[in-house]
Chains A and B, each alone.
Chain A
Amino acid sequence: MSVTEGVTMLPPAALKLRREVREFLAGYAQDWTTFDRAHSWAGVDREFSRAVGKRGWIGMTWPAPWGAGRSAFERFVLQEEMLAAGAPVGLHWVADRQSGPLILKVGTLEQQQRYLPGIASGDISFCIGMSEPNAGSDLASLESRADRDTGGWRLNGTKLWTTNAQYCQVMIGLFRTQGPAREMRQGGLTQFLIELDCPGIEVRPIADLNGESHFNEVVFNDVFVPDERVLGTEGQGWEQVTSELALERSGSERFLSAFPLVAAAAAKFAEMPEARIESADLATLGALIAETAVLRSLSLMVAGKLERDEDPSYLAVITKDLGAELEQRTAPAVRSLFDMPAADLRKAIEHTTRAAPTFSLRGGAREILRGITARSLGVR
């Protein structure tokens, strides 16, 4: 029974912050439709990101001078309030969650000075260059190369499924600095800070089945990157990426992506006279709310581990696997509550239905996560 642990109390500062975030969001929320909210952290709004940065809410856990050194629980509360409200956080989400912390951990002082202030102000967005046409879940088979050149490196290859690359200024890309893939596998990989306006980079948005373009293909054609843009240690890319992925899997975005639908449905029912509400529908809503609450408890345990510098990966992987499953059940469950939902809710349900397949793909496919859990159980 030792996997879960006693419940940690939220610090008073986190409760105060929740009120501040709600006041802040109230100034924007009236303009967001249910359809807007259903975009959750896929929503993109530079002005909004800058306003969040202005409040000191991007990189808030980073130490001075980059951040305010606030606790993991404060960040947890900030993030969940943003997601529950369906705020368009897409442009600062990735850098706040993983790129910034990675630069803090393994970056040079020059790199920190160059990027962290822009991230914290909401001006600089980061994307993650890992997947490739022939390296998805099997990331170790990636083939994009970085070859030595005078004073730096030449990058060639293609990154695929790069979220929001068309809006980002910088990619942290994983490239092979020793090859070939079939011999080196996890060895010989290096991370680079790549500024996407370099000559030789082409970003091609990929239309998805929602008619939107969140994913991109990013092609590198002899792109020169100077030595000082190597992130961390040459050849240690795999280890760095692994610690980055733990951050990618631990947050409340892994179970709240479809929550704006639940909130909207509950609000609609609250307007109805009680006699008209069937108990089966109350039960459906209750089950969705209860499962969300339990995932939040799990996620808080992960935040507690992060705050204490413990390894959260086992709990994080389970939270993400269960969270994706709940997110994927949400749109049909909410749809079942109405003969015909109001137009805005109907549009939001349709959007979430079409986005749902990605919930169990991004940040580690379901099968990969279950393999990691099986390894923790000692059967792999």
Chain B
Amino acid sequence: MSISDILLEQVVRLHADRQNRRRDETEECDPVLWAKAEELGLPLAMCPEAAGGFELKWSELFDVLAHSASCGEPAPLGDTLVANALLCAAGQAPAQGPVFLSLPSGFAGREPGLNFPADARVLTFNGAAIALASPAGDADRAIAARPPQEDQLILAGALLRVVQIAGALQGALDLSVRYAQERSQFGRPLSKFQAVQHMLAQLASEAVATAAAARMACARMDDGDGSLAVAVAKLRAGRAVEKGAMLAHQIHGAIGITLEYPLARLSRNMWRWSEDFGGQRHWAVAVGRAGLARGAWETVIAASDPIGASDNG
């Protein structure tokens, strides 16, 4: 069993243990779950061994990150993992405690007080380097040209959101399948209606397509050049959110929009994540530019060819 398999098993158990507790549904960090995640060493999983981490790659963490998101991301596991990896890469010490990814305004990031607690610590770009900050001290800053470190933050943040959206869609699918089997109307379960079956099939297709795009982007990021694959995956994930969230809610009827039902948290997360680190227009223009520069077919191949296969003569 590899270290990522062991972590996955523990993360699955951890989330299962905390699944049925009563909680404030707008809470952004379950303290008990967070404490256990720290015991497992999860926040440092992508950091080098010298910093106390496991040096895991994106592909190795795909299932862990996606699972946490499929459970509603009850604590900012993904954000902290990526923040610590970026801090370590920049030669800084990893953070103590949970961190949220943020960006200076001017680029789609998260707004303090709206997307995360006002007193949370965030990883952001302060104009010269990535840095930990409290959102209150985060000045409004227009960015002319982005230095490499900030590009890294955007790319890593976008990829994290793609993996999390893949997880959230799978979570929404699992809930929808279960609900359609349990809920009866007109004397039979919803799952026996062909119209409902086809909505479930479409939701599954969106989840599968997003997972495929996310895995490809993870592989390319691990291989050193993820920019085009991440752009493509973020775009595809955003489209899947548009379709997938609506399908899941349509299957659930009114119960799905109540704050206490778990779908609410999944869809709120998905909609927010598709805005983070570049919305649809941002990445669509980026892919379009690549298409003009290289040709449409070359761009398709460059974005989806498996690792090590960039030599297309």
Contacts from A to B (Cβ < 8 Å)? 1, 3-10, 14-15, 18-19, 22, 84, 259, 262-263, 265-267, 269-270, 277, 279, 281-298, 300-301, 315, 318, 321-322, 367, 369-371, 373-374, 376-380
Contact = CB atoms under 8 A, between A and B. Distances in A.
B198 A294 contact: no
Nearest to A23: B313
A105 to B, nearest CB: 28
Contacts, number: 196
Interface stretch (B22-30, B96-104, B301-309): B301-309
Interface residues of B, number: 67
Nearest to B233: A294
A287 B280 CA distance: 9
A322 B213 CA distance: 14
A266 B292 contact: yes
Majority secondary structure of chain A interface residues (helix, strand, loop or mixed): helix
Name the residue in A18, A265, A286 with the highest tally of chain B Cβ atoms < 10 Å from its Cβ: A286
A293 B215 CA distance: 13
Contact of B300 (A1, A265, A293): A293
A300 B306 contact: yes
Contact of B208 (A3, A10, A291): A3
B236 A291 contact: yes
Contact of B284 (A5, A6, A19, A290): A290
A374 B297 CA distance: 33
A293 B299 contact: yes
Contact of B285 (A18, A286, A291, A300): A286
A300 B295 contact: no
A10 B192 CA distance: 42
Most buried by B among A265, A294, A374: A294
Interface stretch (B39-47, B62-70, B145-153): B62-70
Between A6, A266, A293, the greatest number of chain B beta carbons within 10 A of the residue's beta carbon is seen for: A293
A113 B281 CA distance: 56
Interface stretch (B113-121, B132-140, B199-207): B199-207
B313 A22 contact: yes
B197 A283 contact: no
Contact of A1 (B62, B280, B283, B287): B62
Contacts of B216: 7, 294, 297
Nearest to B170: A1
B280 to A, nearest CB: 8
The 10 closest A-B pairs by CB, nearest first: A282-B288, A286-B288, A286-B287, A283-B284, A373-B201, A374-B197, A370-B201, A379-B191, A266-B296, A286-B284
Given A1-B167, A315-B208, A290 B201 contact: no
A298 B208 contact: yes
Given A266-B292, A283-B281, A379 B177 contact: yes
A58 to B, nearest CB: 22
Contact of B235 (A269, A290, A373): A290
B311 interface: yes
22 contacts: A1-B62, A3-B208, A6-B59, A6-B219, A19-B313, A270-B295, A281-B288, A283-B288, A285-B287, A286-B287, A287-B239, A287-B287, A290-B231, A290-B287, A292-B296, A294-B304, A296-B304, A297-B213, A298-B208, A315-B208, A371-B201, A377-B177
